[in-house]
Amino acid sequence: MRLKVLFPVIALLLAAGVTDMYGQCKSFAKKVCIPELGVYVHDGNYHAAVLVEGEEAELYKTFYSDMKYRVAIVGEENLSNIEFKVLDASRNVIYSNKDANYAKTWDFELQSSQQLKLVVKVPEKSKSGETPASGCVSIMFGFKLKN
């Protein structure tokens, strides 16, 4: 009987915690990541998640020809350099910020419209036995029309 009462309470507390974390991530995205877009117009979508060292996340997004884009990926300060790759439909890596000293932004323009896959990874820096760091990682997209 006691478990029947406790289970809904625990579920509610967990749901509230996840909602609160997402709210904090969205706030982080607005404050820290959007400024990285510079003169590019934010597309209005907020992509943010709490990631732990060693975890990665994937995101698919369609980009159109004749437009200039900027992708900005920023993690909280307690996380090491955030690594991200952009892959085409054939899984070819068309950009890796690892080759650009872990740059937070990448500007690009495509010859044809296509869906790209972004893979974001938080590299491990904790030593064995230490609790891995976790924090918010935000992905933002901006665009400007081609002149």
Domains of the chain: 2-145 (2.60.120.380)
Q: What is the pLDDT of residues 54-89, one digit of tens each?
A: 999 999 999 999 899 999 999 999 998 999 999 999
For the chain, what is the mean pLDDT?
85
pLDDT of res. 74: 95
pLDDT of res. 18: 39
Amino acid at 115: Q
Enter the tokens of residue 111.
Answer: 């010859």
Given a contact cutoff of 8 angstroms between Cβ atoms, the answer to whether 29 and 42 are in contact is no
Tell me, yes or no, if the pTM score tops 0.85: no
Looking at residues 110-123, what average pLDDT do you find? 95
d(CA 61, CA 29): 18
Indicate the DSSP class of residue 79.
S
